[in-house]
Structure 1
């Protein structure tokens, strides 16, 4: 098991095409840890905005009466993929991993697989 900083470093170094990664509390919208990003990707703003996405999807699922869980949410942009992975462990309630990928360098299927592996390493 690894702490937040180590887990985020693992994501940055093992997943091809990563631009930035964050661990986010979707109850508050706060990033608990970030790595990467830059002038073109403010991970604090991304954390807050993607919290709204997660909340909206959970609310919609409730209205539809869907008795299921979100595995991940993919947002496809012209030059990037944004991947939101809700943590499923009981000790991680209300948290998600956010990953921004360069679409030209990333393999989306591999990124999803590797993000699951990184999630399993995370110690909350």
Structure 2
């Protein structure tokens, strides 16, 4: 599945407001879809890169022999879901960033759909 198709599929998830595929090495997004006036996905992608890097530093400091599947940030009206792509895909520094409207979203299903999209994504 191409980046564009993965972004389109992500936007079909109930409650999806915006999505980005981000390289957390550089902080740059490889593609975005959705967003709007109140959600600048380029800025959000760069900011969430810092979230991912901080968590990876903490895990290294604790000598955790584990990997991050996803990171959830819960706001009053939104869910921000960060799903790291598995290194086995040959893209160890990429993550999908999905913003959901909390009133319309089912978080468990959104996580499941992102996992399926990840499995089929080719970068």
TM-score normalised by length of structure 1? 0.96
1:1-124 equivalence runs, <5 A: 2-13=1-12, 15-88=13-86, 89-124=88-123
Return the alpha-carbon distance in structure 1 between the equivalents of residues 9 and 50 of structure 2.
26
Shift of 1:12: 0.6
| Structure 1 residue ranges without an equivalent (≥5) | none
What secondary structure does 1:92 align onto?
Answer: coil
What is the rounded CA distance, in whole Å, between the counterparts of 2:55 and 2:89 in structure 1? Answer: 20
TM-score (norm 2): 0.97
Equivalent pairs counted in the alignment come to: 122
CA shift, 1:90, in A, is 3.9
Query: Secondary structure of 2:118's match?
Result: helix
Please tell me the root mean square deviation across aligned C-alpha atoms, in Å: 0.7
Shift of 1:91: 1.1
Shift in Å at residue 92 of structure 1? 1.2
